[in-house]
Amino acid sequence: MRVRVVPYAELRRLLPGNDEALWLELPDGASVGDVLRTLDIPTEERLIIGLDGAYATPETLLHPNAELTLVTPMMGG
């Protein structure tokens, strides 16, 4: 199945050519954690994960043509 990964902030550097999004081909039954491992993003890293506009966890299962958004929390004042 194909899923679209949209990383923000410094996570965008993980994509070839610093593109805005990346399509990944994954086996049926793949999870958000499988995407994180494919992109070498440690699952213990602080991330805000969205799947089709809703909060997700590494255990959340994916579906064909899902859009996965990855954001690192920002701090500041």
Average pLDDT, consecutive stretches of 10 residues, N- to C-terminus, the chain (77 residues): 91 73 94 92 82 96 97 71
pLDDT, residue 12, reads 80
CA distance 1 to 73: 29
pLDDT, residue 75, reads 61
Give the three-class secondary structure for 68.
Answer: strand
Give buried/exposed letters for 52-70 (b at 16+ CB in 10 A, else e).
Answer: eeeebebeeebeeebebbb
Question: What domains are defined for the chain?
Answer: 2-71 (3.10.20.30)
pTM, 2 dp: 0.86
